[in-house]
Chains A and B, each alone.
Chain A
Amino acid sequence: MAGRTLYDKLWDDHVVRAEADGTALIYIDRHLVHEVTSPQAFEGLRLAGRRPWRPGAALAVPDHNVPTTARAQGIADPVSRVQVEALDANCAAFGITEFDMCDPRQGIVHVVGPEQGLTLPGMTVVCGDSHTSTHGAVGALAFGIGTSEVEHVLATQCLVLKKSRNFRVRIEGACAPGVTAKDLALALIGAIGTAGATGHTVEFAGAAVRALSVEGRMTLCNMAIEAGARAGLVAVDERTVEYLRGRPLAPAGALWERAVQAWGELHSDADAVFDREVALDAATLAPQVTWGTSPEMVVPVDGCVPDPAAEADPVRREDMRRALRYMALEPGMPIIEIRPDKVFIGSCTNSRIEDLRAAAAVVRGRRVAAGIRQALVVPGSGLVKRQAEAEGLDRVFVAAGFEWREPGCSMCLGMNPDRLAPGERCASTSNRNFEGRQGPGGRTHLVSPAMAAAAAVHGRFVDVRELG
């Protein structure tokens, strides 16, 4: 018998019941809940007279709508306020633990889960949010679900699923200084497209992935959904174990030892067979910058905006033309001549302590350029914020002219007041450059934290490898 992939093992460990056609009832170990995709699910439970199967398996935290300025005054937008209050009320009514808006542990759900040790290797983790793939970085099978499935998990602790195919992305070689997990993710999406991994679970492997910190692996897995994969995975290793040791909700003592021993199995067997494999060489990659309205519309920072006329496929050609019109860019323009109006450092992709350190290292001793209207740093959680402040990073940012904010999703999608005005251009560490994503008419360029920081202080995109 051929060996099993990591995904095969995680799947097999969670099958409650399998049907002949391959459909399976899969047990869900952890359920993360936020305010946007849960109210209708709780309402569904109420209408059907159902109770949560296992309320202790869920953790709720409001993140999408929360203001990133002073929290004490509450939420000014009445519609946002109702949604956050609905989460508070539903959690109270159904016995679900919530880190509310004023809890020091509150933050973006995908930052909070691993930070608390709520997300552990070998688990199935779901959330009504596509970036749940983030948690795969610790060797958990984690994927986003819709509201009907949120209700299904609340009511049954299970989901009815069909297995995805196995896809391995091998990234060998070493990243040049200044080339980060975000650049690996964007380069991969540029290579395989935003539907390149649809129907697959992606396992990231290879020397460049092993060399990433667990936080870097989270950035990589976070973006798996932008390549179409519902779940991204990285095998468990020493770094995973060290990252989780001592986290508030991780096991302790003898149970910890037993868990660590079991986690030793959480890698693909040497003879495991993948349905698809792609290889990238990290050593050849430059920092990446998106130029269009889909994450696959990406080029190296030392490149130029591409010319749609060179695209053979007519549907793609028209999409490129539309994207260039929306982004107000001309074919052939060097990326380093693009001048952002705003800079956003944050989101579930890049708001962890290492991201803030990398950005601060670029900013230290410099000033935000005159052409930049606003530069925001939004830590991923209250604990990340506290850690950054203990290291003095907040003072580095504020001295340079950045705004230092409270944690939340913020300008990644602008459900709270942080958004772009029509026509504004943003260097953003978030995950989606869709039309209007950061505000109606806003123009997003996706980059790493160091690249966003460099754009802030230079007033245009620059190659961080040249900053020294």
Chain B
Amino acid sequence: MEPFQTLTGLVAPLDRANVDTDAIIPKQFLKSIRRTGFGPYLFDAWRYLDHGEPGMDCAGRPRNPDFVLNQPRYRGASILLARDNFGCGSSREHAVWALTDYGFRVVIAPTFADIFYNNAFKNGLLALTLPAQTVDRLFRETQAQEGYRLTVDLRAQTAATPGGEAIAFEIDAFRRRRLLEGLDEIGLTLQHAGAIRDYERRRRAQAPWLFPDAPER
């Protein structure tokens, strides 16, 4: 996984609550068996005026001029500013893959849906929660000031505004470390293979009906 340490990036404001994963990446694109190539279809139904299908070349598709990511001032944005309950709905990790493939490295919102939040951290996407008032203010500032950028420093746990104010954010220590170091989580868990086997042995003795399949290791 690509580590995340600091990033200075252009902020794009997506001003609606409950943005669901169906909106982030519509279902027709989930038929892909790859992890890459979802960026052009991010927010497909909002971003384009025609109907998108997998494999379509998006260069010539008619864009919805009202959609925030199509406005020239937000071209190249790497920080997405969002509202409450971002990423609700389906568990599709494709939603995170689409955001990162597009170029986002940070999503800021007052709250995230649980599964999306988990998925983000597995892919080097920093899902950053800030109080609703702070998010409100960032929306106002982003919309008022063209070229509004934030510097997100994961080690220091701050997001610095163009005015130089450092907004502190909270993040779980374990998630932070994994992201800073880009750790292979499966590798970390397999370091505890002995403990897993011990658990299985103990549990099998207690509740053998849970292990109709497994031979003793």
Contacts and interface: CB of A to CB of B under 8 A. Distances in A.
Nearest to B83: A315
A346 B90 CA distance: 17
B58 interface: no
Given A53-B196, A195-B85, A228-B113, A436 B22 contact: yes
Contact of B89 (A162, A198, A322, A432): A432
A77 B53 CA distance: 12
A311 B118 CA distance: 32
B26 A440 contact: yes
A36 B30 contact: yes
Contact of B113 (A82, A128, A198, A258): A198
B23 A434 contact: yes
A195 B111 contact: yes
B51 A83 contact: no
Interface string B80-102: 00011100111111001000000
B16 A130 contact: no
A318 B83 CA distance: 13
Nearest to A199: B114
Contacts of A194: 18, 85, 88
Contacts of B119: 146-149
Nearest to A78: B31
Contacts of B90: 129-130, 413, 432
A73 to B, nearest CB: 19
Interface stretch (A153-161, A270-278, A358-366, A400-408): A153-161
B35 A415 contact: no
Given A27-B200, A146-B122, A54 B213 contact: yes
A259 B196 contact: no
Given A146-B122, A148-B123, A434-B20, A83 B186 contact: no
Interface string A298-335: 00000000000000000110110010000000000000
Interface in B54-86: 54-55, 83-85
Contacts of B30: 36, 64, 415
Contacts of A466: none
Contacts of B210: 29, 120, 122-123
Chain A, interface size category, equals 35 or more
Interface of A: 13, 16-17, 19, 21, 23, 25, 27, 29, 36-37, 39-40, 43, 48, 50, 53-57, 64-65, 77, 79-80, 82-83, 86, 120, 122-123, 128-130, 144-149, 151-152, 155-158, 160, 162, 164, 194-195, 198-199, 228, 230, 249, 251, 255-256, 258-259, 262, 294, 315-316, 318-319, 322, 413-415, 432, 434-437, 440
28 contacts: A16-B192, A16-B195, A17-B192, A21-B172, A37-B91, A43-B35, A54-B214, A64-B30, A79-B31, A79-B54, A86-B33, A146-B92, A148-B119, A149-B119, A156-B189, A160-B188, A195-B85, A195-B88, A198-B85, A198-B113, A251-B212, A255-B209, A262-B207, A315-B17, A319-B16, A319-B18, A413-B90, A436-B23
Given A195-B18, A259-B209, A17 B195 contact: yes
B140 interface: no
B173 interface: yes
B83 A144 contact: no
A164 B114 CA distance: 10
Given A21-B173, A37-B92, A151 B186 contact: yes
Contact of B189 (A130, A160, A294, A319): A160
Contacts of B112: 198
Given A48-B186, A228-B85, A440-B26, A146 B213 contact: no
A283 B73 CA distance: 54
Given A39-B33, A315-B16, A158 B207 contact: no
B190 interface: yes
Contact of A432 (B22, B32, B118): B22
Looking at A64, A146, A149, A194, the one whose CB has the most chain B CB atoms below 10 A away is A146
A40 B93 CA distance: 10
A162 B172 contact: yes
Contacts of A319: 16-18
A-B pairs, top 10 by smallest CB distance, nearest first, are A56-B213, A148-B122, A39-B33, A146-B119, A146-B93, A251-B209, A195-B85, A144-B91, A147-B93, A130-B91
A43 B203 CA distance: 30
B199 A198 contact: no
Contacts of A146: 91-93, 96, 115, 118-119, 122
A130 B95 CA distance: 13
Nearest to B22: A434
